[in-house]
Structure 1
Amino acid sequence: MPTTSQSARKGAIAEVFIIVALAIVPLFVTFPYRVNIFLSWEGAYRLSSGQVPFRDFGTPLGYGFWMIPALFFKLFGPQMISLVKAQVFINIIAGLSFRSILRSLDVQPAIRLLSVLVFALSYSFFNFWPWYNHTVIVYELVAISFLLKSFFTEKLITRYLYITAAALFVFLSVFTKQDGGGMALMLCLALLVYNSYITGKWWDPVRFCGALLIIGGLFIIPLLPGFAYWFNHGQPPHNSRLALNDFTDEIMGNSNWIKAYVVLAVLCLAAGVKHWGTWMHTRKEVLFALLTFGILGEAAIFQVTSYTPPDNNIFFHSFAFAFIATWLCTLLQVPLNTGKSLLFAIALVLFWWSGTWWKYIGRYTDRLFPVKEAYAATDSTHENVVSRRNFMINRDTTDVPVSRWVFSDLPVFRGIYMPQPTVDGIHRVLALPLVHEKKADIKVLNMTELTPLAAAMPFRLETGPDYPLWYHLGVGMFNRQLAAFKVKVQQHHYDLVLFEYAPSLNNFFPFALRDELKLHYQQIDSFLAPRRPANAMIEVYVPKQ
């Protein structure tokens, strides 16, 4: 028994070490400016400044996503790097929640360790920045971990507390992103109904739903009436994301990993379950199966309803691995109880997910073993040398390779590098005479991805129940807000307007407002936006005299 206890303790330490060690890596590196990170920064900045969502600004999402980044802005200041610190915390919470889920389901220690490693490598390690499509899943994992704890706790008060905590984090999931949060709610209800069916504790789903309604009321009622306008979609035209063809095309035409896991999981059950009626009463095994298939189904839907970035649904790998590995090790009697076998399994997992960590080692191998192209001494143009590195010709004259991006000396951008033209453009904006003359009283409309300029300049952010947090027409703002901005531009309300023109992105910043700016304002400068590919320019406008 002491040996078993000591082994379990070492395994637990190893699991926590993997979660924490891989999560804190971003604290020791620098980063290029991230596409779309402007939204994370401004929401956190507004919340940390005391602004109230749906009163001081509107958003089609709840504010669950910005709660943790706002807290870290309070603790460390509104620098971009504070967002990275917030994500480190989020990744640790995600890993510990996943580990807790596996512990509640009695997944054997060796498989649990491997699954934690898969989770950290496949879902946490490369997520350096907070993003709502990630945070919504993290809240879901926390909710499921509390819910499973409630299933296997006999103390009544403790069980109620766990159920209430699960309801809280399900609500935060919904209050972060409706699609992921809604599926988190349905999955939790499915687990609750099955558990109540087996145990006869039918009051548990009632208590869960009651707690969810009370928590929702406590969050939402103070935000009315603005919440009723903004949440989900503010005004017509409404655009449903539930197009059947989108789902069938993505699931049937792609989703190979998800479908492979489903097939393997079904085969495992078919081979391992001898009497289905009896198996249906093995509570932890059935809960594990329900959870795994539920996560796979959620991932299949989530990739369609939340389609950017394209890999935001890969939370399913670790659940599928844990489930399939559990059954295969039992069916095939694979021994993982020795140090050598476990180390070999860890090596296989690291090889499987080498894509997430090799790029960091590859930087050094590229220097140690530089590529040398073979060409004739008389061939000055090297036109006869074609390889996988140069078979395509980049004609984009505005593109700045990330290797040539530079750091800004502005504190808010510490540790973040951007294209040199972007940094130079920022300094030109900050050096404008009107910026120094008006100082904090300057009225700025910053429709760009450089939202941290609000702290760098600084200037007061515009507020109001009808003011959008971000400016993607049809997503973050609607026609009513566009009309209001047009009127302000016509009236020369703003002393300075920064507008990001991204012609290849569908109204990411509304084209109609740029047309209005061309009529009533004078463009005095432009420079590259901090994104790749370099398909956007930041234009600087002042009122026409």
Structure 2
Amino acid sequence: MTVSQLLQNKRFLQITPIALIVLLAMVPLFSTFPYRVNIFLSWEGAYRISNGELPLRDFGTPLGGMYWVIPGIFFKIFGPQMITLIKAQVFINIISGLAFRSILKSLGVNSVVAFVAILLYCLSFSFFNFWPWYNHTVIVYEIVAFAFLFKGLLVAKSNRNIIFNLVLSALFMICSFLTKQDAGAMAFLLGAGFVTYAALQSKRWVDIAVYLGTFLLLLLFFIFVFANQGFSYWFNHGQAPHSARISSTDLLNEFFAASQWIKFYIFVIAILVFVRFRQWKSLWSTKQEMLFLLLTLGILLEAAVFQVTSYTPPDNNIFFHSFAIVYILYALVDIAKDKISSTKVLVIGSLGILLWWSGVYWKYISRIISHGKPAKEMAVNASGENVVNKETYMIDLSPVDTNMIPESQWRFSKLKSFHKIYMPQPTIDGMERLLNMDLVKNKTGELRVLNMSELTPLAVEIPYKLESGSHYPLWYHLGVGMFNKQAEMFEQRIVRNEYDLVLFEYIPSLNNFYPFRVRDTLLNHYNRVDAFPAPRRGETAGAIEVYIKK
């Protein structure tokens, strides 16, 4: 059977993109991983939820609790090992890809263009996201919400199905908003814009009422339930003690000084729109086309804002590529009509995407062939000549960090919680010393522990009971995840010697990622009996210090 014949087989066109989504998502299940910096936040939230705790009621956080729901369910099923987070993310990536595919189907994108777009989506947004992270999960919930929204606005025929899909869309918009406020709020507003346009076209005003009403009712219900659990204190909408992360100056600076891809896509899309539609009325009156354009421009707008409100890591807004490219390909194929075959679109499009995003998979291939790479330091060849190449033409005069532990020297721990996760050997040695301390081995009763480090799975290994309450912060970053009120609480407890054991991660280069003021109090009132490297690399390297009562 030829490629052309395969592309005419409806079953093949339905199964292939689903298989692509599932297979690429499952790749991490067959690998091992270095300890990821900051993944402690995903682990502890999921662990607490799997133990029946609720955000705000049992722990305070500026993030929405929906971030931990899926990992928490997976912890309940598979156990609280770090590797379970990988399994949860595999599921999230599959759902994400299927939702994106559903959007393309609702918008009438032909199967070949959709396959190329799904390949791009998987490579650029899903494949390298091995770990659950709030900046990714919030977008996944949004994409699921859009999948239901466009199915309701463009595919569903009966009034019942339309309303059902709009309700589900509003539900997942709430999930997005209760994962992270900035992207969640923008997603809701975009959805409101799409529903309003569709209502203007069809005169179905009930759709606006259903979408807005469902969202607001669910939001009010959530606020009502948690109103007395510190909702207004923890939920960050720019109020004290939080600080607003958005300003018009920052947005303008980032957009006009950078944002090259976003501006390029807007430019190309504008050209395609002018070429395809001679009159504004013909575009406005074509519901499917207009919603496709609004979605694409809306995603680009969201990405421009998200890169400012969620500035680290720098590729948080990378989801926009897939939406922009699929619109461009869709428009180009429409312009070309029958001048280009589906086979050519598939082959050229797929190879182009694989070439464009080769950096995603090449790093894995390069590990296999790395033995032949050029030297990265001053060297001479076999004949005694000085070797000068791309890697050696500059001499590194920066001070040598004698504390840096190359990843080649990272090892696997025997601890069950860290199964398939490798870390620096000194970190593993430090954890073993900790677990062999008389205080830990011979504990009588319940050991009171304050763990201000990223080795949160030690709660399972020691074990100890996590403190809880609406006043207790899940995240110890001063000014982000906790504030002076919580710092004072910890200082008072340290002064009163309430903790048997304290772990504190000291990272000098990060602005109070773990509060320096708490460490100062520890140094005055507790004995530091050990310290070992945190599982970090580069400029944010730190040490985990072990304190006991004097």
TM, length-normalised to structure 2 = 0.94
One-letter amino acid of the structure 2 residue matched with residue 211 of structure 1: T
2:223 maps to which residue? Answer: 220
1:17-65 deviation line (CA, Å, top 9, x unaligned): 1111110000000001111100000000000011122121111122010
Q: CA deviation at 1:341?
A: 4.7
Is 1:357 paired with 2:361?
Answer: yes
Counterpart of 1:85 in structure 2 is 87
Secondary structure at 1:540's aligned position in 2? strand
Q: Does 1:182 align with 2:197?
A: no
Please give the secondary structure, in 2, of the residue aligned with 1:438: coil
Look up the equivalent residue of 2:277 and give its one-letter code: V
Aligned to 2:48: 46
What is residue 402 of structure 1 aligned with on the other side? 407
Q: Deviations over 1:100-139 (max 9, x none)?
A: 0000000111111100000000000000000000000000
Q: Is the 8 A contact 1:443 1:496 kept in 2?
A: yes
**1:456 aligned to 453, 461, 465, which one?**
461
Q: Check whether the contact 1:502–1:536 (CA below 8 A) recurs between aligned residues.
A: yes
Aligned partner of 1:512 in structure 2 is: 517
Residue 301 of structure 1, CA deviation: 0.5
- Residues 234-264 of structure 1 show CA distances to partners (whole Å, capped at 9, x for unaligned) of 9734411122222122111111111111111
**In structure 2, how many angstroms separate the alpha carbons of the residues matched to 1:77 and 1:335?**
55
Percent identity for Structure 1 against Structure 2: 50
CA–CA distance in structure 2, aligned partners of residues 376 and 217 of structure 1 = 71
Question: Is the contact between residue 242 and residue 480 of structure 2 (CA under 8 Å) also seen in structure 1?
Answer: no
* Alpha-carbon distance in 2 for matches of 1:136, 1:440: 41
* Alpha-carbon distance between aligned partners in 2 of 1:335 and 1:400, rounded to the nearest angstrom: 57
Task: Say yes or no: does 1:424 pair with 2:426.
Answer: no
Relative to structure 1, the CA distance from residue 233 to residue 286 in structure 2 (aligned partners, 3 Å threshold; closer, same or farther) is closer
Residue number in structure 2 paired with 1:259: 263
Greater shift, 271-280 or 80-89, is seen at 271-280
Query: Does structure 1 residue 315 correspond to structure 2 residue 315?
Result: no
State the Cα distance separating 1:335 from its structure 2 match: 5.2
Contact 2:374–2:391 (8 Å) recurs in 1: no
| Ranges in structure 1 where 5+ consecutive residues have no aligned partner | none
CA distance in 2, matches of 1:157, 1:400: 60
Query: Which amino acid in the other structure matches residue 54 of structure 1?
Result: L
Of 23, 30, 33, 2:32 maps to 30
CA contact 2:58–2:472 (8 Å) conserved in 1: yes
Matches of 2:426 and 2:219 in 1, distance apart?
46
Quote the Cα distance in structure 2 between the aligned partners of 1:11 and 1:19.
13
Task: Please tell me whether the aligned partners of residues 23 and 92 of structure 1 are also in contact (alpha carbons under 8 angstroms).
Answer: yes
Q: Relative to structure 1, is the Cα distance of residues 50 and 426 closer, same or farther in structure 2, using a 3 angstrom cutoff?
A: same
Match of 1:250 in 2: 254
CA distance in 2, matches of 1:339, 1:5: 7
Distance 1:386 1:425, change over 3 A: farther
**Contact 1:110 / 1:337 at 8 angstroms: preserved in 2?**
no
Contact 1:90–1:138, Cα closer than 8 Å, also in 2: yes
What CA distance in whole angstroms lies between the structure 1 residues aligned with 2:198 and 2:273? 20
Which of 58, 70, 93 is 1:68 aligned to? 70
Instruction: Tell me how far apart the structure 2 counterparts of residues 190 and 178 of structure 1 sit (CA, whole Å).
Output: 18
SS at match of 2:451: strand
1:541 equivalent in structure 2: 547
Aligned to 1:137: 139
Which residue of the other structure, out of 163, 166, 180, is the alignment partner of 2:166?
A: 163
- Is 1:195 the equivalent of 2:195? no
8 A Cα contact 1:501 1:536, kept in partner: yes
1:117 corresponds to which letter in structure 2?
Answer: L
Code of the aligned partner of 1:82: T
**In 2, are the aligned partners of 1:440 and 1:459 still within 8 Å (CA)?**
no
**2:207 paired with 1:204:** yes
Structure 1 match to 2:502: 497
Is the contact made by 1:439 and 1:458 (CA closer than 8 Å) also made in structure 2?
A: no
Do the aligned residues in 2 keep the contact of 1:422 with 1:530 (CA within 8 Å)? yes
Residue identity matched to 1:136: V
* Distance in 2 (alpha carbons) for counterparts of 1:196 and 1:337: 37
Alignment-mate amino acid for residue 499 of structure 1:
F
**Separation in structure 1 between the aligned mates of residue 248 and residue 445 of structure 2, nearest angstrom:** 50
Shift of 1:161: 1.0
SS in 2 for 1:441: coil
- Rounded Cα–Cα distance in structure 2 between residues aligned with 1:263 and 1:80: 44
> Which range is displaced more, 298-307 or 226-235?
226-235
Distance 1:376 1:114, change over 3 A: closer
Q: CA deviation at 1:140?
A: 0.2
Q: Secondary structure at the match of 1:58?
A: coil
Residue 193 to residue 496, structure 1, CA distance change in 2 (3 Å): same
Whether 2:465 is the aligned partner of 1:465: answer no
Matched residue, 1:111: 113
Q: CA deviation at 1:354?
A: 0.5
Distance 2:95 2:191 in 1: 19
Q: Secondary structure at the match of 2:36?
A: coil
Indicate the RMSD between aligned Cα atoms, in angstroms: 1.9
Do 2:374 and 2:389's aligned partners in 1 also have CA atoms closer than 8 Å? no
> Does the 8 A contact of 2:106 with 2:150 survive in 1?
yes
Specify the alignment match of 2:296 in structure 1: 292
Count of aligned pairs between the two proteins: 538
Q: In the alignment, what sits opposite 1:301?
A: 305
Query: 1: CA distance between counterparts of 2:223 and 2:412?
Result: 41
Q: Which runs of 5+ in 2 are unaligned?
A: none
Please report how far the alpha carbon of residue 376 of structure 1 lies from its aligned counterpart in structure 2 after TM superposition: 5.5
Asked if the contact 1:110/1:336 (under 8 Å) is kept, the reply is: no
